[in-house]
Amino acid sequence: DAGVIQSPRHEVTEMGQEVTLRCKPISGHNSLFWYRQTMMRGLELLIYFNNNVPIDDSGMPEDRFSAKMPNASFSTLKIQPSEPRDSAVYFCASSVGGWTEAFFGQGTRLTVV
Amino acid sequence: AQTVTQSQPEMSVQEAETVTLSCTYDTSENNYYLFWYKQPPSRQMILVIRQEAYKQQNATENRFSVNFQKAAKSFSLKISDSQLGDTAMYFCAFMRNNAGNMLTFGGGTRLMVKP
């Protein structure tokens, strides 16, 4: 299995632009997570999907952030408009559910200038 | 809400020696899981070891073992025979019952293994 695949690996964009991060979970996994990693706040959960349905989005920082999971093999995290404080590494992770560990993608390093 | 605290921002150890990374957590739950993840410079998050709270026996994975003290809410990671490839950030993480697989992470400990 190829693992969780995220794209792009690096993204540099100008303030105010729309940014879309993409994730393909491991086949057969029914839980998907988006995490954000910053020096100041560490690793934070942004949103959790189960069977393509958003279950907990309490970690989404504000309305500029939105996430979708149109099917079991694809999810997006969109920031519109982007701001410099959104600069971070964004991780997607998936799991089979239950008491199993999450498998992480390699992350997308976002830089907003 | 759960909190996870790693009190050692940075640690170093000589190659082949043993090092212990500390983690404490705060929860009112009785059933939960604890994890240690490793993040090398490649940025990939890699599961090192997991512990079920209902199990009294400490988990072990090759050179990695934990000391789980449920009453003290402590979950330390011991790395034996440290190798240069163990150099990485290590994150302690908590997963509570009936909350999907959502993880709450500690702030991390940067471990440097010196030759």
- pLDDT digit string (tens) for B24-78? 999 988 889 999 999 999 999 999 999 999 888 999 999 999 999 999 999 999 9
- Beta strand A10-13 with A108-112 is parallel
Is it the case that residue B21 has pLDDT exceeding 90?
Answer: yes
Count Cα atoms within 13 angstroms, Cβ side, for A54.
17
* Residue B10 structure tokens: 């940075």
pLDDT at residue A100, as a whole number: 81
Paired residues of B23 in beta bridges: none
Task: Indicate yes or no: CB of A42 within 8 angstroms of CB of B105.
Answer: yes
Residue B47 CB coordination number (10 Å): 15
Per-residue pLDDT of chain A (113 residues; tens, 9 = 90+): 689 999 999 999 999 999 999 999 999 999 999 999 999 999 999 999 999 999 999 999 889 999 999 999 999 999 999 999 999 999 999 998 777 889 999 999 999 99
Paired residues of A96 in beta bridges: none
Nearest Cα to B90, choosing from B47, B34, B42? Answer: B47
Strands (E), B40-81: 46-52, 60-61, 64-69, 74-79
Task: Indicate yes or no: CB of B52 within 8 angstroms of CB of A99.
Answer: yes
Mean pLDDT of all residues in B88-105: 86
What are the chain A neighbours of B104 within 8 Å (beta carbons)? 45
Q: How far is CA A43 from CA B18, B57, B84, B90, in A?
A: 27, 28, 25, 12
Chain B residue whose CA is closest to A40: B107
pLDDT at residue A1, as a whole number: 62
Burial of B39 (0-12, 13-18, 19+ CB in 10 A): buried
Chain B residue whose CA is closest to A42: B107
